[in-house]
Amino acid sequence: MNERPKILREDNTAGETVLAEVEEVIQLAVTIKDVAKKANVAASTVSRVIANSNRISHATKIRVREAMEELGYHPNFHARSLANKSTKTIGIIMPSSAKVAFQNPFFPEVIRGISTKAYQKGYGLYLSTGQTEEERFEEVVQMVEEQRVDGIVLLYSRKNGLIMPYLMKKNFPFVLIGRPYDLPDEEVTHVNNDNFKAAKMVTEYLSLLGHRQIAFIGGNMEYVVTIDHMKGYKKALEQAGIEVNDSYIVYHDELEEGGQEAVIELMSLQERPTALVVADDLMAFGVLRMLSDMGVNVPDELSIISFNNVMISELSSPPMTTVDIHIFDLGSTAVECLFDKMLDKHIQPKSVIIPHRLIKRQSCKKCNDKTLHS
Amino acid sequence: MNERPKILREDNTAGETVLAEVEEVIQLAVTIKDVAKKANVAASTVSRVIANSNRISHATKIRVREAMEELGYHPNFHARSLANKSTKTIGIIMPSSAKVAFQNPFFPEVIRGISTKAYQKGYGLYLSTGQTEEERFEEVVQMVEEQRVDGIVLLYSRKNGLIMPYLMKKNFPFVLIGRPYDLPDEEVTHVNNDNFKAAKMVTEYLSLLGHRQIAFIGGNMEYVVTIDHMKGYKKALEQAGIEVNDSYIVYHDELEEGGQEAVIELMSLQERPTALVVADDLMAFGVLRMLSDMGVNVPDELSIISFNNVMISELSSPPMTTVDIHIFDLGSTAVECLFDKMLDKHIQPKSVIIPHRLIKRQSCKKCNDKTLHS
DNA sequence: CTGAAAGCGCTTACAG
DNA sequence: CTGAAAGCGCTTACAG
């Protein structure tokens, strides 16, 4: 594949005409030496001009820059990285891009947050492509060992993950979006919402509206966010003097489809819930759809509240009351923390909590269940 | 930053103990030389083992592999790329990650298609981060000139883009998802749906249901897909003997919000449309929401049909009739074409059409407008 | 302020 | 089947 250019390079000494005949020649990258020759300086000087070293005279800088301009010079990324030990790129590890999960607008939105901040600092983004936890682990090892990235942001936190322990052992700069589970909180830098508090608040809100039969539809139980939601939900019930009813707690993985199954389960109970805490806006769409098929009116017969405030959540019927978790900020803050880590690997790990906010729309209403008045 | 390791390396000759004291030492990458020494061969032999060259004896391969294993060796990515002129990574150029557009599940889904195929071939993904067309153009130039990627997939096609002309001039391997506009169709490899035909089909379907007042809500006019949709729409009307009514044609950029404005515009007309062709499922959500606020019943008073069949489109009320454009296949096919291009830069450009399919749900109904019977 | 030289960690003709 | 050497295109002490 690169035989051709090789040969050309050797012919190069023979004269300009030979080169001109072969179109591929334009592909032949201009190197620092070419610039050096043209500007009548040494390669090292050109290098210093690139780095804008203040040990180079203004005149020389201008001359070199002109030469770079004229030749259309761009420094070779890999040569720089090799000499530098720096790649100016950060790795992003996403959870399984399983069809459904990845259609959740959460991910585009965090990535937008990450991307914006990374762009400002001149960093590029390298994306994981693995589908399983093992594949992704191998990718992380590769990113680290082959020195492809300077730092990593982990977009999810799960029980028994392989990735975090590995990164910690290597003392490789990374930040987690979410909260560590198996590892001590204070040992890993992470950016998170207070999901416990958010779920507690939401449940309290429902109980303030008079609901006592409040069900909980959680996401994948492997994810820490689900655990936190559940704890907050339980805590709120407890404080309100409502007994926790295990049949009111269901988990489902598959977002909207899951939401639908969960509804069937809950609405088949002797004592139907009058309110629902749903893990995710998308899931809530599935819930709503199912409920509408069953002829259950929201919010008259059932109140619903969910999390994330993803764009479409205001487009449901009725518009969804939800918790805005500021997804964009989660991403951009994570990158900021990552840069701190990259500057000093031994910096104290820190934990940043992005505030959440209740967005009241029209899916919740005062409870009018007769059991209330009994 | 890498001063420390430098010093260590020099002390290295002094003895093992010095090294053991400094934790950073584990970070010090194992190189091909270390492996060579351990396996008692030359570096070049190790290199050949990595490449699994058949000119190396089985016995040597095993010995070298053991050494690699024991030392935890991973070849340095940049050194390889530099020597190789190959990066094993492909660049993905996304349209502006403007808040709304990027929340469209279209992008996660194409990326999933791309990602899956890339993973199979051992390729990584490098993501554009620029917000404006100019920023993204600069990123592309950088990816190409600095030799960061072996190929590029462009996720969108727009009028007066800078990126494609540049890539063509460079003869750099890329494939477009969509269809070129300013450039001749047969000069750029692209993967697309037949958006003209899809829009035509959809409009015909509506007219078969008896609708004659069919409006069109298109997306961003800069994007080629919008133009194709519009042409298909017009063609169908023409063939059905329905006169094109310019006030029935509106464009909006901002997806759902846009969808809502468009509805106001259309429903304020003297002669309200009885059917709507909507550019995108997400936009259709906005349309539906607005209509529901206005008390217009879908599909009784107004039929709606949209494009993409994004996951949530079945969760609207009523469930949306839409055109499945097989987004995943768009992505994975694009990568296949890209690999062909990368293998042979001078391969004939080709155009692949991914079939579409009408998904009938419940947002369309026979027209019962009196104007029909007049 | 600038240059010559060594080095970053690989690959690949070339020679045997 | 294997090795010594040159080269990929940069950066960075070192010396002046």
Judged by DSSP in three states, B316 sits in coil
CA distance B309 to A256: 15
Please list the rounded mean pLDDT of every run of 10 residues in chain B (374 residues).
32 36 52 93 93 90 93 94 93 78 82 93 93 92 95 90 92 94 91 97 97 93 90 97 95 72 91 94 90 92 95 89 97 97 92 97 85 44
Which residue's CA is nearest to the C1' of nucleotide C7? A83
- Among A78, A130, A316, whose Cβ lies nearest the Cβ of B147? A78
The mean pLDDT value for A182-205 works out to 95
Domain of A345 in residue numbering reads as 89-193+327-354
- If asked whether residues A215 and A167 sit together in one domain, one would say no
Which one of A117, A129, A344 makes the best mutation probe of the B interface by having the most chain B beta carbons within 10 Å? A129
Spacing of A166 CA from D3 C1' in Å: 37
Interchain pair B145, A29: CB under 8 A = yes
CA distance B276 to B301: 11
Asked whether the predicted pLDDT for residue A70 surpasses 90, the reply is yes
Judged by DSSP in three states, A354 sits in strand
Spacing of A34 CA from D12 C1' in Å: 20
What is residue B369's predicted lDDT score, i.e. its pLDDT? 60
Judged by DSSP in three states, B298 sits in coil
pLDDT digits (tens, 9 = 90+) for A328-343: 999 999 999 999 999 9
- If asked whether residues A348 and A278 sit together in one domain, one would say no
Average pLDDT, chain A: 87
Q: Hey, is the C-beta of B346 within 8 angstroms of any chain A C-beta? A: no
pLDDT digits (tens, 9 = 90+) for A126-185: 999 888 889 999 999 999 999 999 999 999 888 888 999 999 999 999 999 999 988 898
Residue of B nearest to A309 (CA): B103
Of A191, A130, A141, which is closest to residue A164 (Cα–Cα)?
A: A141
Spacing of A219 CA from D15 C1' in Å: 65
pLDDT digits (tens, 9 = 90+) for A251-290: 887 665 667 888 999 999 999 999 999 999 988 998 999 9
- Give the helix, strand, coil percentages of chain B, each rounded to 5: 50, 15, 35
Provide the shortest C-alpha distance from residue A295 to chain B (in Å): 12
The mean pLDDT value for A117-124 works out to 94
- Among A115, A146, A312, whose Cβ lies nearest the Cβ of B74? A146
CA distance A166 to A188: 12
Of A94, A149, A129, A93, which is closest to residue B331 (Cα–Cα)?
A: A129
- If asked whether residues B50 and B105 sit together in one domain, one would say no
- Give the helix, strand, coil percentages of chain A, each rounded to 5: 50, 15, 35
Q: Hey, is the C-beta of A57 within 8 angstroms of any chain B C-beta? A: no
Judged by DSSP in three states, A152 sits in strand
Give the closest nucleotide to A34 (alpha carbon vs C1'): D9
The CATH number assigned to the domain holding B307 equals: 3.40.50.2300
What is residue A106's predicted lDDT score, i.e. its pLDDT? 87
- A269-282: b or e for each residue (b if 16 or more CB lie within 10 Å)? eeeebbbbbbbbbb
Tokens linked to A358: 């209740």
Q: Hey, is the C-beta of A257 within 8 angstroms of any chain B C-beta? A: no
- Among B29, B118, B146, whose Cβ lies nearest the Cβ of A147? B29
Provide the shortest C-alpha distance from residue B126 to chain A (in Å): 5
Spacing of B178 CA from D5 C1' in Å: 49
Of A235, A363, A231, which is closest to residue A309 (Cα–Cα)?
A: A363
B7 CB inside 7 Å of strand C: no
pLDDT digits (tens, 9 = 90+) for A300-326: 999 999 999 998 888 888 999 999 999
**What letter does residue B270 receive in the DSSP assignment?**
S
Distance of CA B156 to the CA centre of its chain: 7
Residue of A nearest to B167 (CA): A27
- If asked whether residues B113 and B225 sit together in one domain, one would say no
φ, ψ at A17 (rounded to 5°)? -60, -40
CA distance B373 to A224: 61
- If asked whether residues B45 and B111 sit together in one domain, one would say no
DSSP labels, B114-150: HHHHHHHTT-EEEE---SSHHHHHHHHHHHHHTT--S
- If asked whether residues B320 and B339 sit together in one domain, one would say no
Domain count, chain A: 3
Of B209, B338, B196, which is closest to residue B275 (Cα–Cα)?
A: B209
Contact B137, B164 (CB under 8 A): no
B76 CB inside 7 Å of strand C: yes
What is the number of other CB atoms lying within 10 angstroms of the CB of residue A231?
14
pLDDT digits (tens, 9 = 90+) for A218-262: 988 888 899 999 999 999 999 999 999 999 999 887 665 667 888
Of A102, A142, A110, A125, which is closest to residue B91 (Cα–Cα)?
A: A125
- Among A100, A125, A311, whose Cβ lies nearest the Cβ of B256? A311
The CATH number assigned to the domain holding B61 equals: 1.10.260.40
- If asked whether residues A104 and A214 sit together in one domain, one would say no
- If asked whether residues A19 and A75 sit together in one domain, one would say yes
Q: Hey, is the C-beta of B116 within 8 angstroms of any chain A C-beta? A: yes
What is residue B101's predicted lDDT score, i.e. its pLDDT? 67
- If asked whether residues A146 and A200 sit together in one domain, one would say no
In one-letter notation, the amino acid at residue A352 is V
Tokens linked to A277: 């805490």
- If asked whether residues B346 and B212 sit together in one domain, one would say no
Of A84, A106, A131, at which residue does a domain stop?
Answer: A84
CA distance A145 to A130: 17
- If asked whether residues B284 and B256 sit together in one domain, one would say yes
CA distance B187 to B171: 11
Which B residues 183-242 touch A at CB under 8 Å? none
Q: CB pairs under 8 A, 24+ apart, for A295-301?
A: A296/A267, A298/A363, A299/A362, A299/A363, A299/A364, A299/A365, A300/A365, A300/A368, A301/A274
What is residue A254's predicted lDDT score, i.e. its pLDDT? 67
Interchain pair A29, B147: CB under 8 A = yes
Which A residues 272-301 touch B at CB under 8 Å? 282, 285-286, 288-289, 292
Of A34, A53, A84, at which residue does a domain stop?
Answer: A84
What is residue A308's predicted lDDT score, i.e. its pLDDT? 94
Of A52, A84, A116, at which residue does a domain stop?
Answer: A84
B60 CB inside 7 Å of strand D: yes
What is residue B353's predicted lDDT score, i.e. its pLDDT? 97
- If asked whether residues A307 and A199 sit together in one domain, one would say yes
A82 CB inside 7 Å of strand C: yes
A56 CB inside 7 Å of strand C: yes
Sheet containing strand A303-308, edge to edge, reads: A249-251, A214-218, A275-278, A303-308, A321-324, A357-359
Q: Hey, is the C-beta of B141 within 8 angstroms of any chain A C-beta? A: yes
